[in-house]
Amino acid sequence: MSFAELLDHVGGMGRFQIIYAILLPIPVFMLASHNLLQNFTAATSEHHCHVHININNTPYTNLTGNNQQPEKYHRFVTTQWQLLDSNATVTNLTELETEPCADGWAYDKSIFTSTIITEWDLVCDSRQLKQMAQSIYMAGILQGLFLGESGISSRKREVMVSLYLALMAVTGTSTAFSPSFTAYCIFRFLTGMAFSGIAMNGVSLSVEQTPTRTRAVVGTMYGYCYTIGQFILAGVAYVISSWRWLQLVVSLPYFICFIYSWWFAESARWLVIAGRPDEAVKQLQRMASMNRKEEEGDRLDIEVLRSNMQKETASAKSSHTFFDLVRTPVVRRISFCLCFVWFSSSFAFYGLAMDLQNFGVNIFLIQLVFGAVDFPAKFISVLTVGFIGRRFTQTLTLILAGLSILANIFVPQDLKTLCIVLAVIGKGCLAASFNCVVLYTSELYRTVIRQTGMGLSNTMACLGSILAPLVKMLEEYIPFLPLIIYGAAPIISGIAATFLPETLNVPLPGTIEELETRLVESIGRQEE
């Protein structure tokens, strides 16, 4: 009897599993809010130099353009009273002496009453700090991933989930009370660490407690919870225009999640592999009791558990490191290709998702549209993955995403609808790419190095999300350069994905030798 059969023996998808499947994804709703929060808390409002005199068109302010709109970065050195006369003809405004905005800036507060931009004047020479703040948050996610892969998280994962939920609640709330931009970045870094811990440990706990036949449903539900979270963010941000209150509202629910998280228990599979069979028996008996299978639970003991899980225990005793991912030609090839795919999917995704203001339309509406496209995109990817193949889906979604992004370079700025359509197609393709690559990665690596392979893949995704905001800074020098980079990356990785073996209807590899043989056969079929 395998562990999957043991789960069916004590109730299968019973009440215990249903409660887990409901409670564990709840924090995911707000994870999307924290990931994309700076679209709203760091929105850049219309602004111009602040002046002491505010008569009509503020004569101290430098005016530019045919409509003589206030200039964002400079003001006149001396008062230009002639600008107050509507009948006067003023020429050569560019020849008048100007100076930087010494007294701060005045901001349009019609949409957002306050953001971190207006709070700390992150404009002009400081405008790139906005992108730095997002990269720092993403670096926190990467640090959380490293902690998860290290010995720090060798403790029970239900304890780690509770601790990470507490960290998210405390640091997220503290961010709302940040006295300075430096403090804001520190708290956002810690929030990113919490994000990583909640996502990794929560998904593992839920999936390992779930029978094989319903595991895909539970995994898909996690993905859609994140998608729904994007809708929640748009709605909450529309109602709350102050960045501090918005930050507070998306952080406080984690205190509730922290309270009920202490009901969670570690999976019996992990407990057996960790050398705690007595605790595993108690956990399975608890599961059987909640699923009304008390008699089956009473018949379980340590010897029964050990005899049924010898394979899992033997695999766990094997020592495997990162070098196993590059030791043989086949695994090395798979690892390099997957690194390209994970990096570019995340890189291009955040390049699009964190640049909503650039579309020049209602930012709340575009957030809803960007979230809504995930539903059909993920559904279509599920169909193509299941009927056509993983490699085809992965290649197609990445190349289409890249072409959609590159096409936006050639669209005139006045055709906003077309720009948005192309961006939405690109974002949907990247969402489908993520949906595919998670499954693809888990199938390509043999069992004993699967966790290490997923760790490397997630690391590359984090690196992509860190670099995406930094690349955005390049538009200060060449406006279309970020789009070229965002578009080229998924196209290159889509080509790299063609070198991966197909895994549709193929059993999971048990050994590296088996994996080597399969790829050689796959290459031979392609050449034919």
- State the Rg of the chain over Cα: 27
- The answer to whether residues 35 and 194 touch, using CB atoms and an 8 Å cutoff, is no
pLDDT-based confidence at residue 334 (cuts at 50, 70, 90)? confident
Q: Which residues pair with 98 in a beta bridge?
A: 76
Q: How far apart are CA 459 and CA 480, in angstroms?
A: 28
Better-predicted residue by pLDDT, 388 or 306: 388
Distance CA 445, CA 510 (A): 9
Closest CA relative to residue 420, chosen from 475, 482, 363, 467: 363
pLDDT at 45: 77
pLDDT computed for residue 501 by the predictor: 84
pLDDT above 80 for 97: no
For residue 499, pLDDT beyond 50 = yes
Q: Of 139 and 19, which is predicted with more confidence? A: 139
Specify the range with the lowest mean pLDDT, choosing from 94-108, 326-340, 382-396, 456-470.
94-108
Query: What pLDDT score does 185 carry?
Result: 94
Q: How far apart are the first and last CA of the chain?
A: 42
Q: Read off the tokens for 493.
A: 């990785």
H helix intervals, 24-115 = 26-35, 38-41
Under the banding of pLDDT at 50, 70 and 90, the label for residue 183 is very high
- Check residue 436 and give its pLDDT: 86
User: Which tokens go with 523?
Assistant: 């290459």
Which residues are 76's β-sheet partners?
A: 98
**How far apart are alpha carbons 112 and 41 in whole angstroms?**
9
pLDDT value at position 23?
Answer: 82
Spatial distance between the Cα atoms of 8 and 296, rounded to a whole number of angstroms: 10
pLDDT digits (tens, 9 = 90+) for 40-52: 998 887 777 766 5
Q: How far is residue 286's CA from residue 62's CA, in Å, rounded to a whole number?
A: 72
* Cα 292 to Cα 296: distance, rounded to the nearest angstrom: 9
pLDDT digits (tens, 9 = 90+) for 210-243: 776 676 677 677 778 888 888 899 999 999 989 9
Say what percent of the chain tops pLDDT 90. Answer: 23
Q: Quick check: 61 pLDDT over 60?
A: no
> Global pTM?
0.80
- Mean pLDDT over all residues of the chain? 79
Q: What is the pLDDT of residue 213?
A: 67
Please determine, for residue 77, whether its predicted confidence score (pLDDT) is greater than 80. no
Please, which residues have CB within 8 angstroms of residue 436's CB and are 6 or more apart in sequence?
381, 385, 390, 393, 394, 397
Q: Is the pLDDT of residue 360 over 80?
A: no
pLDDT recorded at residue 153: 47
User: Which of 141-145, 448-452, 512-516 is modeled with the greatest confidence?
Assistant: 141-145
Asked if 111 and 164 touch (Cβ cutoff 8 Å), the reply is: no
Shortest CA distance to 62 belongs to which of 44, 39, 32, 83? 83
Residue 228 in tokens: 């729904």
Does 392 have pLDDT greater than 80? yes
Q: Which residue has the higher pLDDT, 73 or 286?
A: 286
Please tell me which of 101-115, 118-132, 177-191 the model is most confident about, judged by mean pLDDT: 177-191
Give 236-295 pLDDT, tens digit per residue.
999 998 999 999 999 999 999 898 888 877 777 777 766 677 777 777 777 777 777 777
Q: What is the pLDDT of residues 119-144, one digit of tens each?
A: 888 887 777 888 899 899 999 988 88
At 412-441, the pLDDT tens digits run 878 888 989 999 999 999 998 988 888 788
The DSSP code for 240 is: -
Q: Which long-range contacts (CB under 8 A, 24 or more apart) does 86-94 make?
A: 93/62, 93/63, 93/64, 93/68
Is the model more confident about 407 or about 413? 407
pLDDT higher than 90, residue 78: no
